[in-house]
A = this chain, B = another copy of it.
Amino acid sequence: MTEQEQIRFEARARVLKALAHPTRLWIAEQLADGERCVCEFVDGVGVDFSTISKHLTVLKQAGIVADEKRGKQVWYTLKVPCVLNFMNCIEAVIDHKNGNACAATGACP
């Protein structure tokens, strides 16, 4: 691995790491249909609002989401929607691992 490559792989790992958390994956998926207010995330998940805010900061710093303040509220959007395409492949990894295709539907015996 050359130093050039090292730098590139570190940058890539930073992006993946930003996404590699259950709450942050959930947030990304919520943004599939368009922008959402922070307050909507807070309502939708059982975690402190300051924790949500920190997750959003992680996603923003990675370049995955963008934010815009309008009035009292802050609205987030997916800056690079192709990250949602990861999910199919991730499910394939999970299913492959379980040796069956049931896990994707939650219908495992």
Q: Which of A8, A87, A91 has the most CB atoms of chain B within a 10 A radius of its CB?
A: A8
Whether a CB of chain B sits under 8 angstroms from the CB of A54 is no
A92 contacts which chain B residues (CB < 8 A)? Answer: 80, 82
Residues facing B in A34-63 (CB within 8 A) are: 44-46, 62-63
Q: Give the interface size class of chain A.
A: 35 or more
Interface string of A11-32 (1 = CB under 8 A from B): 1110111011111111000000
Contact of A6 (CB < 8 Å), options: B13, B22, B24:
B22
A86 in contact with B11 (CB, 8 Å): no
B9 in contact with A25 (CB, 8 Å): yes
B80 in contact with A12 (CB, 8 Å): no
Of all chain B residues, the one with the shortest Cβ separation from A61 is B97
